[in-house]
Structures are given as C-alpha cells and as structure tokens.
Amino acid sequence: MFGRRPTPAKTDEQLLLMRRAGLLVGQTLELLSSRVEAGLTTLDLDALAEEFIRSHGAVPNFQLVPGYAHTLCTSVNDEVVHGIPGHRVLQDGDLLSIDCGAQLDGWNGDAARSLIVGPVGVLDQHGPERSEDLELVTATEDALWAGIVALEVGERLYAVGEAVEASVQGASARRGRDYGIIEEYVGHGIGRSMHEDPQIPNYAVRDRGPTVRSGFTGAIEPMVTLGSAQTRVLDDDWTVVTADGSRAAHWEHSVAVTDNGLCVLTAVDGGRSRLEASGAAYLPLD
C-alpha cells in the first residue's frame, strides 16, 4: 500500500469526459448554494439536486453506493459527513455541508462545500459563535486549496495531507484556535468509480505515498472541526458526528493533475481563479 509505485492515470480523452462529469457536480453545488435558505429541508435540497443531475443525462452516483438512496449527503452543525437528507428544517445560522456526486457517461465527479444558512447579515444576528463557524468554513476551504496546489506530477501524493495540515495549523495560529482535522475519513482516487485507489489522507502521514503521474485524478476532501477530531457514527449507520458536539466543515474537489497543469474538475471555472492566485499552472479542459 505504501510502496513507491506511481498513481493511476487517465488518458487525455478520459480527462475531458471527467471534466464534463465534474463540471455538472460543480454546477449542482452552485445551484444548491443559491437556493439554500431557512425553512427548506435537507430532503428538499436532495430532490433539487437529483432533478438537476438527471435532467443533464447523468446519474446521482451516491445512489450507486450499496444501501444509500439519496443524491446528496447533507451534514448539519456537529455532523461531519454522510448526513442523510431528511425532514430536518434548516435554520438561519446552521452550518451546512453538502456533498454531491454524479456519474456522466460512465465517469464520476465528487465534491463538497460548507456554508452558513441565511441571508447576508445573519452572522451579525447570531453573534460571535456563527462568526467562528464562518472562519471554520473558510479555513477548511483554504486547506482544500492548499492540498490541491500541492499536487504535482513527479511529487509524492501525500504532500497533499502535509499541505492541508500546515494550512489548518496556520489558521489555528492566526485565530488563536485549535482546529481538529478528521483522520478517519480520507480523499481518494476517482474515475470510472467514485472511489478508487489510492486513498489520500487529509493530514500529514509518515509515508509520502505514491508518485503522482500525469493524468492522475483524485478527490481531496479535508474535514475540520472547531474542537476534537474524534467522531462517532449515529444509529442510522451513516451520519458521522463530532464526539464533542463541536461544529465541522467539509470541502472537496475532484482534481486532474497533468504535466501541463491542474484542472479542478468540479469547480465551475476549473479552479482557474484560485490556482492562478496561488501561482499554480491551470489547465483548461473545457
């Protein structure tokens, strides 16, 4: 598992197909983000996502996971990942993480984002606690991008986790906090299947992992908490919550790594703005 063998790689044609699947996932998350408001249930969001994905000729790939019937995972407040959409009514100030995937023409995209429910200004109404939540959301998104730009052909894959961890530690120091990084759930390769080898830890590990080949496609997905990194699974056998009840954020993108640069497959702009801002080479695949 920890050998020096290189990562898998896709052909140029396959990368174009993966971009189409990833773009649809990114567009679905954009749609959901624009529609989220207090009073909706997480099941409402799930229905909206399923309709959008199917209307584009794709399949909600979470439904291909044995035992799972939904299009999204919706994790609220102390829920970290794998929250099941249901009749929970969203409230202003909730910290909502939406994880979404789609399979188009046999290729998969997988992405997640966190946001605070409510109109602009809701943070003021809900006081400093919600500001802490927004800082957590931003720290987690920044950690994702730090992990993405650590992807480079010829480098070791687990540089991703080192970069994620360094980014979270930097945010902790700036905020005077001690954010927790979840270790029980990790990123992964992606392609014909949503989950392919190798796993990609979102934290530093002793081994540095396989060497990244041009054409590698993987999902990077840090989960960060305001408290402990310990989790437990609820009786529904899916929903992962923090052991100490602290709130958590989750950001994920599927990314292609090539000799000619990176393409963030599930970002609507392909990652161009964030990649260029950090000096990383951007490869358009549209």
Q: Which residues bind Mg ion (CB under 5 A)?
A: 99, 110, 112, 219, 252
In degrees, rounded to 5, the angle at the alpha carbon of residue 128 between the alpha carbons of residues 84 and 39 is 40
Per DSSP, helices labelled H in the chain are 12-35, 42-55, 122-149, 159-175, 272-277
User: Nearer Cβ to Mg ion, position 46 or 99?
Assistant: 99
CA separation for the pair 29, 35 (Å, rounded): 10
Cα-Cα-Cα-Cα torsion 278, 280, 281, 282, nearest 10 degrees, comes to -60
User: Nearer Cβ to Mg ion, position 50 or 99?
Assistant: 99
Smallest distance from Mg ion to CB 26, Å: 12
Burial (Cβ within 10 Å: 0-12, 13-18, ≥19) of residue 125: exposed
Alpha carbon 89 to chain centroid distance?
23
Smallest distance from Mg ion to CB 9, Å: 19
User: Nearer Cβ to Mg ion, position 31 or 281?
Assistant: 31
Smallest distance from Mg ion to CB 220, Å: 9
Rg value, the chain, Cα = 18
Inter-residue contact 221 to 187 (CB < 8 Å): yes
For residue 62, give the nearest of 70, 53, 54 by alpha carbon.
Answer: 70
Smallest distance from Mg ion to CB 268, Å: 17
User: Nearer Cβ to Mg ion, position 93 or 271?
Assistant: 271
Smallest distance from Mg ion to CB 83, Å: 12
CA separation for the pair 79, 252 (Å, rounded): 16
Tokens 């954010």, residue located:
179
User: Nearer Cβ to Mg ion, position 46 or 110?
Assistant: 110
What DSSP state is assigned to residue 246? -
Tokens 């699974």, residue located:
233
User: Nearer Cβ to Mg ion, position 94 or 252?
Assistant: 252
Smallest distance from Mg ion to CB 122, Å: 26
Residues found in the chain: 286
User: Nearer Cβ to Mg ion, position 123 or 262?
Assistant: 262
Q: Tell whether omega for the bond before 66 is within 30 degrees of 0, i.e. cis.
A: no
Smallest distance from Mg ion to CB 183, Å: 15
